[in-house]
Structure 1
Amino acid sequence: MTQNAPDPENSDDGPSEPVPARFPSPGTRRCQRCGALNGLDFDTCIRCVEPLAEPRAQAQPAAPRWPPEPAGVLERPWAAKFILGLTFLTFVGQVMVTYLRGDRFPIPFLTGFHDIDLMRFGAMPVDLGAVAREPWLLLSCVFVHAGVLHIGLNMMGFMSFARISEPAVGPSRLFLAYVVTGLAGSAATIALSSFDAPGFLGILQRLISAQPRGVPYITTTLGASGAVFGMMGLVLGWLLRRRDSRWKTFAMEAVLFSVLFGFAVNASPRSTIVINNAAHIGGLLAGIVFGFVYAGGRRWAPPWLVNGGAAFCVLACIGSLILAQLSPRWRMVDQTLTSLPEGLPSDSTVTAPNR
């Protein structure tokens, strides 16, 4: 025995509310009022009959590009400001010490700081034995500069790369890359100067390592350009890892031009400055490695390890400058030069190549 289904239109209770079909539905979403699951094509909730919010359109994955999307809001950009501030604070200290010496022009444009003061603030001697006794000089020399033009060009170059790199990789990762690439440039300088290559290789070695002939006492190196080239390498490594076609243009216009310029300056017989290309190349290669690692994603290390490493690098930078001030090396050289006979220029025995 069968019964016919009641006709809603002829029912005593009157027409019932239309019930939305549950199937087919491409997906589900929850009602913000009662939490019930509804189809994406439903206009009202099946439980509370309240209007449902419009579903958010799913964003299409963008193609890899440089610079990538900025990091999270919690990662505030402190690295570039800290590096810029510490570098200029060191330069102000150099100017103050020069002024206390009684020099007539306390703010040199190109060069002019007393060589002892450069050593005092952490300029690194190109000597393996001296660096082995005071290894902090590998880092302190990154923050010392020879003049206004020297620090101005380095910091302008650094900010041009940090402006796009820091929002992309985060401040802690940027600071780690800056410190390590600066150390790599200093280490490359010491490594290349620890032996004498014969023949043509010897000429090439002098063009790279910035060792002028006829230096009777010591040669020092200073400047942030090794780390700046590291930031340049970071961008290049990122573009290479993401297979961005712009890496060729960037490599030709920025990297190759900068490297060849350093070689041209050292090869010029009339040049009054010397550029440490070893630091440039060492920092550039280390920066490319960082770019490859960072472009692969942010999960290469846990955040606590990255932040802890950046904090350690901050302390290392400040500590290296303090240890350079406390070092007896520059005091011994100062006493030696002070005791020289009158008429012999006290700065003729120390040469400070720039980088």
Structure 2
Amino acid sequence: MKYRQLGRSALKVSELCLGTMNFGPRTSETESFAVLDAAVEAGINFIDTANQYGGRLGVGTTETILGRWLAQDPSRRDRIVLATKVHEPMSDDVNDRGLSARHIQMACDASLKRLQVDHIDLYQMHHIDRLAPAEEIWQAMDRLVAQGKITYVGSSNFPGWKIAQLNERARDRLGLVSEQSLYNLIERRAEMEVIPACQAYGLGVIAWSPLAGGLLAGNASANAGRRQTDDMKRAATTRADQLSRFADLCAELGRSQSAVALAWLLHQPGLTATIIGPGSLEQLTTILHAPDIELGADLLAKIDAIFPPVGPAPEAYAW
């Protein structure tokens, strides 16, 4: 496994980040433990979750499963960089959501309890809260850092302007160190504003949905269930020509479509890691080699020809 610095921080994380959203609703606790064990054995030291994950089993379920795995062997905690998120509704309570200072504090305490740990390495804001002033957010995050409950602060699904605003308000502190963004060969809009903003302010980009919900995985999709939805079927039909050309290119390389899609992300400027969300141990083992795939300039150009960038960045709207 290869490692990169998380943005401008000195922290090093694996290029593959283990996403845990499937743990509970799709993947049993026993299988989740097997995936976690294999991931750590393979050198993955970056594990991402969120307080809302749990699907039909209820919010907090995934953090609880991860907490039980950590409790099995206390030494595991020191070997991983643990990331979770705050923002999404955790109940019907009007204040049990968003990025108010009150909710950030309460949500962090609840996550620590479910995870059975005393601190979170990377605490990420899951979405922007248009009602929460930057000063209120930093007040809450500063308190958590001072209390030793979190170490770094990151964002997720933030636009470029919000990344800039929060870091301008954090001139006397480290500020945001990462942004977790939707980014893959099909969805490249992050290149327009988000990634340039991250590069300018020293945030590491963590890509989520690297396989576009399974569209880029071909027949070996780790998300076959999601690919059966009406929206995914329509997307597959609309992009049939692109997907066919990509499949042919990967076949020429002798590589799986999933691995090439992941490798492509790791060749993009500003990327620290890409999240993988295997639903089983078998799915994990088929993509662990992705960071070792080298894509030359000619090959990257061929991929761009199939999945073109959306436009010049970051001054696309300037004149």
Same fold (TM over 0.5): no
TM-score normalised by structure 2 residue count = 0.24
Q: Name the structure where strand makes up a greater proportion of residues.
A: 2
Structure whose alpha-carbon radius of gyration is higher: 1
If each structure's helix is expressed as a fraction of its own residues, which one has the higher value?
A: 1
